[in-house]
Amino acid sequence: MNNKLIAGVLILIAVLIAGFILLGNKSSTGNVIKGDGERPVKEFSIESFTEVIDGKYYPQFSQKEITVNKGDLVRIKVLVTSGMHDFKIDEFNVYSETPLDKEVTIEFTTDKSGEFVYYCAKPGHRALGQWGTLKVLE
């Protein structure tokens, strides 16, 4: 093989590895954006979908963990790409229907610390794995 071909293959491999690393590092701490003047908004984007594996349906969220601080204003943008879903966090009195192919924005303030479950309340979805953990640090 000539040296130009080897160099080209090595560059291609390096680009692919960098791409996989960047795509695999979705932050569970979200993006901090300008808030309401008192505090920043912690913003997250979550995809809600249903996987079909061997003919069985498995509803899922794309992000399984979100970490914020107590007192943060949290904005979660949910986009349903397949199936019928909603979004719920009992302890913060958060509930929203999430229609197919429409991004829904959910906002709330974390007034207590701890670990809380966010989930889809459609029958059977939580039991099939459509849930995640909201970690609120003191």
| Distances in whole angstroms, Cα of residue 123 to Cα of each of 103, 120, 129 | 22, 8, 12
Render pLDDT for 67-102 as a digit per residue (tens, 0 to 9): 999 999 999 999 999 999 999 999 999 999 999 999
Threshold 0.85, pTM exceeds: no
Q: What is the DSSP letter of 19?
A: H
pLDDT of residue 23: 44
Per-residue pLDDT, 96? 97
Domains within the chain, CATH numbers bracketed: 28-137 (2.60.40.420)
- Three-state DSSP at 91 gives helix
In this prediction, residue 6 carries a pLDDT of 75
User: CB-based burial of residue 113 (10 Å sphere; 0-12 exposed, 13-18 middle, 19+ buried)?
Assistant: middle
How far is residue 91's CA from residue 79's CA, in Å, rounded to a whole number?
Answer: 22
